[in-house]
Structure 1
Amino acid sequence: MVWQTIKRWYHMLGSPRYFYRFSSALLPWLTPIALLVFTVGIVWGLAFAPSDYQQGNSYRIIFIHVPASSGALMGYVAMGVAGLVAVVWRMKMAEVMMKAIAPFGAVLAAISLATGALWGKPTWGTYWQWDARMTSMLILLFMYVGVIALQNVIRDPRQAARAAGLLAMVGVINVVIVKYSVEWVQTLHQGSTLKLLGESTINPAMKYPLLISMLGTWLLYAVNVMVRARTEVVWRERRSKWVRKLMKDGGQ
């Protein structure tokens, strides 16, 4: 029963027309919820969470750094899955989603690196160190940029999707390296104190606003992807009857 439901949704959302209709119904609700959750998490963390007994207020950058890092990693995995579907099954919506995911993921990876550097200076005395976590995160940003470049340099959308999909799939290996680098190699970067599964070592007064900030970032990512995917769908399907009718009706 569950598998049949998943299969039905898979095929339904694989239709550009159905995805456009589905996202039209979802976005008016998802967008304000995402903005509210993100705002609550950020304000709670930056203004009301207690100071750290060692790092003082400088640690508060984690309420931006950690959500950006987690969003960049999750986004790349999603892009890798879309790349697999695009390469193996040639599904149009997988190609669209891969193209929609990449830009915001690259922005989050850049924010992660920038905030990490700002956090590193007062904490470790340096903006940058070529350790496993920082270097692999930089590679992740380059992988995002590489996917975006392939999608824009190759003129044929199907060939571009195939090339970008292959790079996205290969890059998932680096996501694993980013995630477990602090456990596999002794690095300057501290180990994980927040665990979704298992006991976290972070103070609960810091944990909950951080979790809310992360959720808000993921929701904003979803909103961004949907908006970009809708634009890409309309462009790719611009010659179809349903898009011509949509434009005639004013995009509704």
Structure 2
Amino acid sequence: MHGFANPARFLKIARWLMPLCMIAGCVIALAALGWGLFLAPAEKLQGETVRIVYLHVPAAWLGMAGWMGIAGASFTQLVWRHPLAGIAARACAVPGAVFTAVCLVTGSLWGRPAWGTWWVWDGRLTSMLVLLFLYFGWMALAQASEASDAAEGESGSLAPAIFGLVGAVNIPIIHYSVLWWNSQHQPPSITMGKSAMSGDFLYPLLAAMLGFTLIFAGVVLARMRAILADRQAEARLRRKAMATGFSPRGQA
């Protein structure tokens, strides 16, 4: 892991890995959505509305995976002071929040014909909404910490990392909410080593999850490259300002 701590080494790998993930992910996701929307059969009870599953489930998975990425990067930053850990956490936040929002919207669209209402305050939906608010809070804290560090000439604020670890408590709550509480949301259809879904629905769903996961990975790598480029440009400006005797605060 520490071999990737060098930004130059990471950028060398990300330069070819990012487009590979994006292209492969888009191809697989589009094929899976086409399979699920046009070739897979309608469900006996839910009819055509079941087709939302091919977007809803991958979005739910990546919404939770995005926060686990933040938590993993936060742990790495706190324990090993990995120089790319904070950047990785920032890169996971926006796509994780987007997929969480997509999960909530598609779940509402699915819930209207299935439950007769757009929203219910059950454990799964409420904990997923809390996750979206956690993303917003983390991004605001990370931005404030970065602005404070820049103003004071420091770096490496640990407040977002601590928040990222604390917020991870919500992930098992989301996962087990349909088992812990009486919920209108259906129990998990896919568990470790087995599935309650028939192959007609399962295979396009798994393909969609793989495709969207690759897209998520590509977006995270692209964002990490962009953040590194911004920081390198800022560092060059600071060095140039110091060489010319100009202070970033406007003092010569």
Report the counterpart of residue 204 of structure 2 in structure 1.
209
Matched, 1:194 2:185: no
SS in 1 for 2:194: coil
Report the counterpart of residue 108 of structure 1 in structure 2.
99
Report the counterpart of residue 237 of structure 1 in structure 2.
232
Report the counterpart of residue 119 of structure 1 in structure 2.
110
Aligned equivalents of 1:144 and 1:160: distance in 2? 20
1:17-48 CA-partner distances (Å, limit 9, x unpaired): 11111101222322211111111111111111
TM-score between the two structures when normalised by the length of structure 1: 0.88
Contact 1:83 1:161 in 2 (8 A): no
Aligned equivalents of 1:50 and 1:236: distance in 2? 50
Contact 2:189 2:196 in 1 (8 A): yes
Contact 1:38 1:212 in 2 (8 A): yes
Partner of residue 220 from structure 1, selected from 215, 225, 229 = 215
SS in 1 for 2:168: helix
Report the counterpart of residue 141 of structure 2 in structure 1.
150
The 10-residue stretch of structure 1 (39-48 or 99-108) with the greater mean CA deviation from structure 2: 39-48
Partner of residue 178 from structure 2, selected from 172, 175, 182 = 182
- Give the partner amino acid of 1:44: W
- Give the partner amino acid of 1:204: G
Q: Would you say how many aligned residue pairs link Structure 1 and Structure 2?
A: 231
Residue pairs, 1:156-175, within 5 angstroms: 156=149, 161-175=157-171
1:179-198 CA-partner distances (Å, limit 9, x unpaired): 11111111110101122x22
Aligned equivalents of 2:81 and 2:231: distance in 1? 15
Aligned equivalents of 1:194 and 1:159: distance in 2? 43
Report the counterpart of residue 134 of structure 1 in structure 2.
125
Give the number of the structure whose alpha-carbon radius of gyration is greater: 2
Contact 1:45 1:63 in 2 (8 A): yes
- Give the partner amino acid of 1:169: L
Report the counterpart of residue 244 of structure 2 in structure 1.
none
Matched, 1:23 2:14: yes
Q: How far 1:160 moved relative to its partner?
A: 6.9
Aligned equivalents of 2:36 and 2:47: distance in 1? 13
Which 5+ residue runs of structure 2 have no aligned equivalent?
237-252
What's the Cα RMSD here?
1.6
TM-score between the two structures when normalised by the length of structure 2: 0.88
Report the counterpart of residue 97 of structure 1 in structure 2.
88
Report the counterpart of residue 41 of structure 1 in structure 2.
32
Aligned equivalents of 1:189 and 1:25: distance in 2? 41
Partner of residue 71 from structure 1, selected from 37, 53, 62 = 62
Aligned equivalents of 1:143 and 1:161: distance in 2? 18
SS in 1 for 2:195: coil
SS in 1 for 2:196: coil
